[in-house]
């Protein structure tokens, strides 16, 4: 059973066209939800950590929000350099592992 599901799998936006990426999770005892950006052939780059429902974090054109069952990554007025795969991960219970989704591949067209 998938514990972290991301949608859509791929998203193409025109430069300046705002949108949202979704990460839904089916875990109990959430300790943290994490967003990462990954460029092709590179390691994931840390963006945000969210710990409790209602929490929001912002960084430049990105804003992450968290509810009890899902998280959204809002991208406002994206630029071509925002093109990447965005990964969501959760940490739960007493375990040490992060459970990753398969990511959303974002392409921003000039």
Partner 1 sequence: ETGVTQSPTHLIKTRGQQVTLRCSSQSGHNTVSWYQQALGQGPQFIFQYYREEENGRGNFPPRFSGLQFPNYSSELNVNALELDDSALYLCASSFRLAGNTGELFFGEGSRLTVL
| 85 beta partners | 38, 105
State the burial class of residue 103 (Cβ atoms within 10 Å of its Cβ: 0-12, 13-18, 19+): buried
- Write the DSSP symbol of residue 81: G
Query: Which residue stretch of 14-22, 44-52, 56-64, 66-74 sits at the interface with partner 1 (rule: CB under 8 A)?
Result: 44-52
The binder of partner 1 chosen from 30, 44, 66, 108 (CB under 8 A):
44
The binder of partner 1 chosen from 1, 68, 81, 94 (CB under 8 A):
94
- 24-43: contacts with partner 1 (CB under 8 A): 31, 34, 36, 41-43
- Write the DSSP symbol of residue 53: T
- Write the DSSP symbol of residue 93: T
**78 touches partner 1 by CB under 8 A:** no
- Write the DSSP symbol of residue 86: E
Q: Which residues bind partner 1 (CB under 8 A)?
A: 4, 31, 34, 36, 41-46, 49, 87, 89, 91, 94-103
């Amino acid at each position: 059973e998938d514990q972290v599901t991301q949608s859509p799998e791929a998203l193409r936006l025109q430069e300046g066209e705002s949108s949202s990426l979704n990460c839904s999770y089916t875990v109990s005892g959430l300790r943290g939800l994490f967003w990462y950006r990954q460029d092709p052939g590179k390691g994931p780059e840390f963006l945000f950590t969210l710990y409790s429902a209602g929490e929001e974090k912002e960084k430049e054109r990105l804003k992450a929000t968290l509810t009890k069952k899902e998280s959204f990554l809002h991208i406002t007025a994206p630029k071509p350099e925002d093109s990447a795969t965005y990964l969501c991960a959760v940490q739960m219970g007493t375990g040490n592992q992060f459970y990753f989704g398969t990511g959303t591949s974002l392409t921003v067209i000039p």
